[in-house]
């Protein structure tokens, strides 16, 4: 049991769930399930000023939509509850103090203003952003530079302070990243990160180590932006005496914006017209609305599939994977090192593929919702399924079912007369006048018999059947799209077919 794989996704509840975030969860989940392990959701809400109402529920809803169910989470609980860091506040101070006592950390009394002054004073052309590190810490107000009595007095007076890690001056520290191989740093280049904030809350650096240890996490996967602070985490694992149980790390490549360079941001989506969040999100503080993939008409299967392939492949030509297939094929060492530019066109292709491959039953609830939103209600389920089967190959997004399916339920309000006007003539007008009678007498209302009757009349009147199909389509559909006309006539029934033929406005 001690070697059971345990991974976690640890978002901070500050807003909508970004594509990159979903991919990080996905890879965590796939890895855990591939190895028969557990997937834990832990909320990293250590920054009270950034807390956003509703963000936690939103994150859980996103996971649910994607088909990812945490084995342990704030909602379902688990052996290591609580799963919110704000509720674990007490445990962090103890470890921070222990590090101070052992000489691996220290109290720092510098005020925000003093820190600002330090950065301003030491800023030079060669060093535009000086950091609080082994070179500067002796010049600041902390328990390393001040004498013990002063420190005691400061604390006794209730002076706000933080606890900072004391990074070694010159040590090489390295670890093996599961996708990058060996990565090493010199500790002297790393700053003395704050571990415990003045309000008693831990920073990410302390919390991630303490909680990963407490929750027996075996593998820790996170975005590449965390790589530079890995040495801090490594030292913490060592100094807290847990090095043997440190998880294996993997730093995932970033998802980049489609044009130019840089991390994909919500802004890019707005600018280029595609979603970046998994689901719709409205920031309760600013009321700013951001569209999600779900509401844009994506199937979760496609969304997950697309994300999985953005940075990973199993070496075969397969591109379409179900969650089950992903779980069995996934491996961290086949994840790319380099970032990938997000391509919305490819994302739509995945959705299109999933719609084509999904059964009518699977699509029914989603399509029904789409139809209802466009005013088509009360239709029979089996009829909707029939329509789905007929039009799904021309639907890229779920919303497309509204336009592609509408005429199966409602006669077209407008007709694309321009499409047929040029070739319209009295013979054709006569054909359709007679067609109403022929079709009206038809007893077997099947595609084959409708088509046969249609072509027989055309032959009788010496008109090429092919030339009559487009006008017929315009009458039934209103435009130049949709399945074979005779299938449409069969589906909408004799009565509607006759009405629509009669309803075509004068072409000439």
Partner RNA sequence: GGCGCGUUGGUCAAUCGGUUAAGACGCUUCCCUUUCACGGAAGAAUGACGGGUUCGAUUCCCGUACGCGCUACCA
In angstroms, the CA 445 to CA 440 distance is: 10
Site for RNA in 230-269 (CB under 7 A): 254, 256, 258, 260-263
Site for RNA in 42-71 (CB under 7 A): 44, 46-47, 50
Buried b (16+ CB within 10 A) or exposed e, 22-34: bbbbbbbbbbbbb
Nearer to RNA, 91 or 131 (CB): 131
H/E element, 181: strand 181-186
128 sits near RNA (criterion: CB under 7 A): yes
SS3 (DSSP) at 166: coil
Closest distance to RNA from the beta carbon of 377 (Å) = 25
Per-residue contact track with RNA, 203 to 222, x per CB under 7 A? Answer: xx------------------
Q: Which stretch binds RNA (CB under 7 A): 199-207, 285-293, 294-302, 366-374?
A: 199-207
227 sits near RNA (criterion: CB under 7 A): yes
8 Å CB contact between 51 and 45: yes
Residue from 175, 226, 432, 445 binding RNA (CB under 7 A): 226
Nearer to RNA, 64 or 464 (CB): 464
Residue from 79, 158, 273, 315 binding RNA (CB under 7 A): 315
228 sits near RNA (criterion: CB under 7 A): yes
Site for RNA in 144-163 (CB under 7 A): 160, 162
In the numeric block, which tokens belong to residue 148?
């013990």
SS3 (DSSP) at 1: coil
Site for RNA in 12-41 (CB under 7 A): 12
201 sits near RNA (criterion: CB under 7 A): yes
In the numeric block, which tokens belong to residue 46?
């250590």
For the chain, how are helix, strand and coil distributed in percent, rounded to 5?
50, 10, 40
Per-residue contact track with RNA, 269 to 308, x per CB under 7 A? Answer: ----------------------------------------
Of the candidates 271, 270, 310, 305, which has an alpha carbon nearest to the alpha carbon of residue 290?
270
In angstroms, the CA 367 to CA 365 distance is: 6
Sign of CA dihedral 484, 490, 493, 494: positive
Q: Which of 266, 348, 392, 428 is catalytic?
A: 266
Closest distance to RNA from the beta carbon of 414 (Å) = 15
171 sits near RNA (criterion: CB under 7 A): no
Number of residues that bind RNA (CB under 7 A): 84
Closest distance to RNA from the beta carbon of 191 (Å) = 6
Q: Which stretch binds RNA (CB under 7 A): 1-9, 91-99, 280-288, 343-351?
A: 343-351
470 sits near RNA (criterion: CB under 7 A): yes
Site for RNA in 402-441 (CB under 7 A): none
Q: Which stretch binds RNA (CB under 7 A): 25-33, 137-145, 196-204, 407-415?
A: 196-204
Q: What is the DSSP letter of 273?
A: T
Closest distance to RNA from the beta carbon of 160 (Å) = 6
Q: Which stretch binds RNA (CB under 7 A): 241-249, 295-303, 338-346, 492-500?
A: 338-346
SS3 (DSSP) at 183: strand
Q: Establish whether 386 is a catalytic residue.
A: no
8 Å CB contact between 202 and 195: yes
Residue from 22, 310, 326, 489 binding RNA (CB under 7 A): 310
Closest distance to RNA from the beta carbon of 111 (Å) = 6
In angstroms, the CA 117 to CA 228 distance is: 25
447 sits near RNA (criterion: CB under 7 A): no
CA dist 398 to 183, 259, 362, 394, 409, Å?
A: 44, 26, 12, 10, 17
Nearer to RNA, 226 or 432 (CB): 226
Residue from 224, 268, 301, 490 binding RNA (CB under 7 A): 224
Q: Which stretch binds RNA (CB under 7 A): 73-81, 105-113, 271-279, 361-369?
A: 105-113
8 Å CB contact between 408 and 492: yes
Largest Cα–Cα separation, the chain: 112
- Cβ partners under 8 Å of residue 505, min gap 6: 415, 417
Q: First and final CA of the chain: distance in angstroms?
A: 81
Site for RNA in 74-103 (CB under 7 A): none
393 sits near RNA (criterion: CB under 7 A): yes
Nearer to RNA, 318 or 377 (CB): 318
CA dist 298 to 186, 281, 292, 399, Å?
A: 45, 16, 9, 9
In angstroms, the CA 279 to CA 291 distance is: 7
In angstroms, the CA 388 to CA 357 distance is: 12
Nearer to RNA, 4 or 464 (CB): 464
Nearer to RNA, 359 or 440 (CB): 359
In angstroms, the CA 74 to CA 76 distance is: 6
In the numeric block, which tokens belong to residue 338?
């380099």
Active site residues: 266
């Amino acid at each position: 049991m001690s070697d059971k794989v345990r991974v976690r996704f640890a978002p901070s509840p500050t807003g909508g769930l970004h594509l990159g975030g979903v991919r990080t969860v996905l890879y965590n989940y796939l890895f855990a399930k591939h190895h028969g392990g557990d997937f834990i959701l832990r909320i990293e809400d250590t920054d009270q000023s950034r807390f956003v109402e509703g963000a936690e529920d939103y994150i859980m809803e996103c996971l649910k939509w994607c088909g990812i169910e945490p084995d342990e989470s704030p909602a379902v609980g688990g052996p290591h509850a609580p799963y919110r860091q704000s509720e674990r506040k007490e445990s962090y101070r103890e470890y921070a103090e222990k590090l101070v006592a052992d000489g691996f950390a220290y109290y720092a009394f510098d005020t925000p203003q003093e820190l600002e002054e330090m950065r301003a004073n030491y800023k030079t052309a060669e060093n535009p952003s000086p950091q609080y590190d082994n070179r500067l810490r002796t010049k600041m107000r902390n328990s390393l530079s001040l004498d013990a009595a002063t420190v005691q007095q400061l604390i006794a007076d209730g002076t706000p302070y933080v606890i900072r890690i004391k990074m070694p001056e010159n040590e090489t520290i390295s670890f093996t990243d599961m996708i990058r191989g060996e990565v090493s740093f010199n500790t002297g280049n790393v700053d003395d990160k704050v571990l415990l904030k003045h309000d008693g809350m831990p920073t990410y650096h302390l919390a991630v180590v303490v909680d990963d240890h407490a929750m027996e996490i075996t593998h820790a996967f996170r975005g590449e932006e965390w790589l530079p602070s890995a040495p801090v985490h490594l030292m913490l694992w060592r100094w807290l005496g847990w090095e043997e149980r440190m998880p294996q790390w993997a730093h995932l490549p970033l998802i980049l914006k489609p044009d130019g360079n840089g991390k994909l941001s919500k802004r890019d989506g707005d600018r280029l017209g595609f979603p970046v969040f998994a689901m719709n999100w409205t920031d309760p503080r600013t009321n700013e609305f951001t569209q999600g993939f779900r509401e844009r008409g994506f199937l979760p299967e496609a969304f997950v599939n697309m994300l999985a392939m953005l940075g990973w492949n199993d070496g075969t030509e397969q591109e379409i994977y179900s969650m089950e297939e992903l779980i069995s094929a996934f491996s961290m060492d086949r994840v790319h090192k380099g970032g990938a530019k997000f391509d919305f066109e490819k994302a739509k292709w995945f959705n299109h593929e999933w719609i084509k491959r999904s059964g009518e039953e699977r699509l029914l609830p989603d399509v029904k919702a789409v139809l209802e939103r466009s005013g088509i209600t009360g239709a029979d389920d089996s009829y909707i399924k029939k329509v789905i089967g007929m039009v799904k190959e021309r639907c890229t997004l779920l919303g497309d079912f509204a336009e592609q399916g509408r005429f199966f339920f409602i006669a077209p309000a407008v007709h694309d007369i321009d499409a047929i006007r040029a070739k319209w003539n009295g013979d054709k007008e006569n054909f359709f006048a007679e067609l109403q009678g022929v079709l009206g007498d038809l007893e077997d209302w099947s595609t084959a018999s409708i088509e046969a009757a249609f072509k027989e009349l055309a032959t009788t009147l010496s008109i090429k059947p092919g030339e009559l199909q487009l006008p017929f389509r315009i009458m039934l559909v209103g435009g130049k799209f949709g399945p074979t006309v005779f299938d449409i006539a069969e589906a909408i029934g004799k009565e509607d077919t006759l009405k629509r033929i009669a309803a075509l406005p004068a072409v000439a």
